[in-house]
Amino acid sequence: MKEINLSILWHFHQPSYLLLEPEGEYFFFPWVFLHSIREYYDMGKILKETSSNVKVSFNITPTLWYQINKYREKKSFCKWLKIFEKNPSFMSEEEKIFVLRNFFSVNYEKQILPYDRYRYLFIKRGGIFELEKKVKYFSNKEINDIMFYFIYSNVSEIKKEENEILKELARKKENYTEEEKKELLNICFSILDELVKIYKNLIEEKKVELTTTPFSHPIMPLIINSNSFSISSPHLADRKVDFSFPEDAELHVDLALSFMKREFKREIKGLWPSEGSVSDETLEIFIKKKILFTMTDEGILERSINLPLREKPEDVRDDLYKPYLYRGKNGEILLFFRDRILSDKIGFVYKNLRPEDAVNDFVNYLERLRTKGKNLWVSVILDGENPWVYYERGGIPFLRRFYEVLSNKDYLNFSFFEEATFFKERGFLERIHPGSWIRSEFTTWMGDDEKNEGWIVLKKVKDDLKEDVKLNEKSFYSLLFAEGSDFFWWLGYDNPTFYAPEFDVLFREHLKNVYRNLGKKYPEFLENPIKKEIHRFFVKNISGFLYPVIDGKITNFYEWANAGIINLDIDGKSLLRYLYFGWDEEGNFCLRIDAKRNFKELLEEGFKILIAIKTLNFEKILKFDKDRGENSSFYCADKIFEVVVKNLYNNIYLFLMLENKSFARYPIYGYYLIEKKEEDYNFV
């Protein structure tokens, strides 16, 4: 018996970007297509090349595979691809603006910087604001090149190594023709077809264990009964939305199992619950559906056995390294708990290391585990698409070395999860803590005002239509799509994205289609955006007048003591730290920005600060760089950045941008609302 059984699960998931309307189907976003021609293809291709003793689990969600099939059929409309196919000479100005806004939506360092022409055009465009003014400065050839590189930068790195047409296109560098764009797109669709063959062959050859997820990736415990939210976060019990549709949860499982069996000719025996979300009720449904095994995060195990697993990050108890048999009311199911440190190293850390150093670190971690004894079962589970865009060449050098080195370790056995059904070393559980792989709770999907409004809207639709939704297949599927986890992920303030308003629209369009396909008029509340344009990230509110000395320095404590403060560094990755704001005694609006570095040095390096301000009767974007500032303001940049804008007496909506080769926006969409309360001020 080997000392370490290593089970690796790569989770492949995309929400439904496909809208099912009475008159047809269309893709709202192209991310399924783009991930398929790059990450999904490369993951399968690399595994096919590896040693015969390397085997892993691929968790493929039904909504992902369903959409891959739709792209291959070429019957569903995709606006992004249709615009790509257009000759800019025949484009409307609106379509060209769409290109400027959206066709740089790739990783700057790994997908724009390597291509001189793409980088030049990105810098020429600058930020995504005032594109209606910028568009006239882009020639048709430049628009064409932007579109070409958007698709080309998303093509499999392996294909770029092998395909002569792709090599020739890369050598040309600019001024791509309509015929060359067509050649590129044809290659992309051929990659989709090859991807399907590769995955089915890998499963047939038993190099891949196929698992899946409930149909449209719902947070099962919250769908079954939102009381799970209160149990996992009792301090937020009053933030729960009442939602309980266990029959929907069963439908998601039934549809997933039948869909995957139909597509891959295999009985599915293991489920990765969406976002690792489990509860006792969830496991009971899995048992009822004859699922043999499932997985979640080590934090769930900690809370289930009431025992800390780690005193230090890598000093972990051996309780983690065995499967657990959960004994439910109606049967049993085997549970695996992922090693969070190992999984997150691949997901977030190794992108910063050379492949050989990253793999050595992984191996050293396993070597330390060997001191805990033999017959360890180590579970590594993570997203299979998201990390690789941050790695060199899409993660290919890392993955090739990773599989090669591990396949030569005599103490290690690549194992499918199903093989543990015969594994004697196991623990036992009578209960499971309700939670997900994110902090072992559910606040990523419920509790915030916006997230809660999403649940309320969903419940209104379900209560309104009841069983009628099953009368039409498109209506039925549209409702299930809207129960997917991603829509609640992007609501609220914890996962900012420029596309958050679009995800809100997509969520409500799915729900509108429930009505449209039944021949009914959808209710008016589905027209109301859930995603709010106003944000409050206040550390403190204004407490009185400000007395700033505009010298770029913290001159004395009192000048900004009464300021309101907004945290600009919510995720810990921002260059900017805090925004101070308020009014002085003359009614002038005052702002101070603190950064993690000296502000004067940032401007000298080429950074620019843009401050967009809007009131009831005033709207302006103030721009500052090392050479100039706005005449309507008095400012100074040294250790900090300070500026005074005269005669702004009303409530103010504002956002900031820090621009260099790329840009950061605060907040990432919408505005901060800074309210002037009459009782606090008496302006002249």
Distance of CA 142 to the CA centre of its chain: 30
CA atoms within 13 A on the CB side of 635: 27
> Can you give the pLDDT at residue 631?
52
Rounded to an integer, what distance in angstroms lies between the CA atom of residue 649 and that of residue 652? 8
Rounded to an integer, what distance in angstroms lies between the CA atom of residue 292 and that of residue 418? 8
Give the number of residues written for the chain.
684
Contacts of 601 (CB under 8 A, 6+ apart): none
Averaged pLDDT score across all residues of the chain: 93
Rounded to an integer, what distance in angstroms lies between the CA atom of residue 44 and that of residue 89? 39
> Can you give the pLDDT at residue 166?
98
Helix (H) or strand (E) holding 195: helix 178-204
> Can you give the pLDDT at residue 536?
60
Rounded to an integer, what distance in angstroms lies between the CA atom of residue 127 and that of residue 611? 13
> Can you give the pLDDT at residue 682?
45
- In the block, tokens 């739709």 appear at 70
Rounded to an integer, what distance in angstroms lies between the CA atom of residue 18 and that of residue 32? 10
In this structure, what token pair is assigned to residue 134?
């910028």
CB 41 within 8 A of CB 159: yes
> Can you give the pLDDT at residue 159?
97
Rounded to an integer, what distance in angstroms lies between the CA atom of residue 113 and that of residue 99? 18
Strands 538-540 and 576-583: unpaired
pLDDT tens digits, 268-277: 999 999 999 9
Which segments in the chain show pLDDT lower than 70?
1, 313, 534-538, 629-633, 649, 677-684
Count the Cβ atoms, other than its own, within 10 Å of residue 174: 16
> Can you give the pLDDT at residue 684?
38
What is the dihedral sign for C-alpha 181, 396, 15, 498? Answer: negative
Rounded to an integer, what distance in angstroms lies between the CA atom of residue 102 and that of residue 99? 5
Alpha-helical (H) ranges within 517-647 are 599-604
Burial class of residue 425 in the structure, from the number of CB atoms within 10 Å of its CB (0-12 exposed, 13-18 middle, 19+ buried): middle
> Can you give the pLDDT at residue 267?
96
Burial class of residue 601 in the structure, from the number of CB atoms within 10 Å of its CB (0-12 exposed, 13-18 middle, 19+ buried): middle
Q: In what order do the strands lie in the sheet with 576-583?
A: 538-540, 564-567, 576-583, 589-595, 641-645, 633-637
